[in-house]
Amino acid sequence: MCRAVAPEKHVPTAIAVDIREMYKEIRNRLTEIKAIEQLLQGKYRQLYRRDSVRDKGDHGIGFVAKNCYSKFEYTMVQIDAMKRLKEHAPQADRPRDPPMVSSKENQVAFIKI
C-alpha cells in the first residue's frame, strides 16, 4: 500500500491511517518474535537451535517494512508541502502595490527614475 501513494495522487486519509496502523502492527509482531526468541533461548538454552534462515527473513521483513514506511512518510510530507504551496500561490500572483514615497525629495527622485 505504501508504494501506491504518490505525491501527484490524492491519498484518502483512511488509507494513510491504515498504512500507519499496519506498520505499527508489523513492528509489534516483530518485537514479539524477538521477545519469544529470547525467552526460548533463556529457558531452553540446551535445546534451542538458531535458525539463520528464519532470522534473515525476520530482519528482511523488518527492513522492507521500515524502508517502505519511511518512503510513505516522505511522500506524505511532499503532499503536505504541495498543498501549502497551492494555498499560498494565489497570494503570490496578486499584483503588488507600488512602494509608498513619503518625502518630497524622494517623490522627485522616484519620478526621475
Task: Convert the pLDDT of each residue in 84-105 to its tens digit.
Answer: 888 876 655 555 555 555 666 6
Enter the pTM of the model: 0.65
Q: What is the 3-state secondary structure (H, E, C) of the chain?
A: CHHHCCCCCCCCHHHHHHHHHHHHHHHHHHHHHHHHHHHHHHHCCCCCCCCHHHHHHHHHHHHHHHHHHHHHHHHHHHHHHHHHHHHHHHHHHCCCCCCCCCCHHHHHHHHHC
Per-residue pLDDT at 69: 93
Per-residue pLDDT at 21: 95
For 4-26, how does the pLDDT look when each residue is reduced to its tens digit (9 = 90+)? 788 777 878 888 899 999 999 99
Per-residue pLDDT at 103: 64
pLDDT exceeding 70 applies to what percent of the chain? 78
